[in-house]
Amino acid sequence: MAASDFKTWMGDVQAQMESALSIFLPASTQLPERLHDAMRYSVLDGGKRVRPLLTFAAGHLVNAPAERLQAAAAAVEMIHAYSLVHDDMPAMDNDVLRRGKPTVHVAFGEATALLAGDALQAAAFDVLSERQLADSPADQLKMVHLLARAAGSLGMCGGQGIDLYSVGQALTLPELERMHILKTGALIRAAVLLGSYCGQPLSEAERHGLDHFAKCIGLAFQVVDDILDCEADSATLGKTAGKDAANNKPTYVALLGMKGAKDKAAELKQAAFDALLPFGERAQYLHALAGYIVDRKY
């Protein structure tokens, strides 16, 4: 796929999602206005929309309608946004910059930030369950279960808990990978699989291959995040750079060194590419996204 074609597709999906999220989120004029302002502030006008892009790319694989993909991707992005709001708060990472602007608790206060995160989590399941997104009710129920599992203590929240409890500790590579399979990888995996349920059914072998792709690229995303935290500045990242090292958190760079971390990212990218081989040209956007995720500079 030509780089220009991928860039055009990516811009189109990002524009679709900005519009869809604006519609799915409560209006700023709706009571309670300040809470809804905070929710919209945390979600709109920022971020690469990697998870929605993955949902759409997986949807392309199964010829899914755009309207279904918009809702599934919005649900994932709301969960992601809520996690960032809570992670940035003083009780956790205590950060003041996100997506190039003040974090939600800085802009709206801690109490409103806490409520905004809670409300975004609920809104995600509202969007996911309000309309038909899969051909069968059983598949739609699987979608709700997938996102719930990915967001909870056996997924993203569990990984964040391990991260908090591991500050100052020297984790082994399997322990570090397990933490990030949950903290970062679970929601990325959900983004891919939700997209795959929005269209034509996949065989068990195909779904297994897609799941393996999602796991590889989810880990790769975190490895690259660790690299960029060391190599990029705050203006480029849109968030505070160097915080992991400053807070003595376990990272791939700390464990493997910079070269080892970059080698690990390249290895995971190749494994993701290999998992897509049986899908041929249908996986062109997933293939391009895997390259984008690993080769990105912010």
Reported as a single tens digit per residue, the pLDDT across 197-237 is 999 999 999 999 999 999 999 999 999 999 998 887 766 66
The count of other CB atoms within 10 Å of the CB of residue 278 is 13
Residue 169: pLDDT band with limits 50, 70, 90: confident
Q: What is the pLDDT of residue 109?
A: 97
Q: Which residue has the higher pLDDT, 243 or 17?
A: 17
Residue-wise pLDDT for 252-268, tens only, equals 999 999 999 999 999 99
Q: How far apart are CA 204 and CA 206, in angstroms?
A: 5
Burial per residue of 154-180, b for 16 or more beta-carbon CB atoms within 10 angstroms, e otherwise: ebbbbbbebbeebeeeebeeeebbbbb
Domains of the chain listed by start with CATH number:
3-295 (1.10.600.10)
Which tokens hold the place of 242?
A: 């160097």
Q: How far apart are CA 202 and CA 3, in angstroms?
A: 28
Mean pLDDT calculated for residue range 174-193: 96
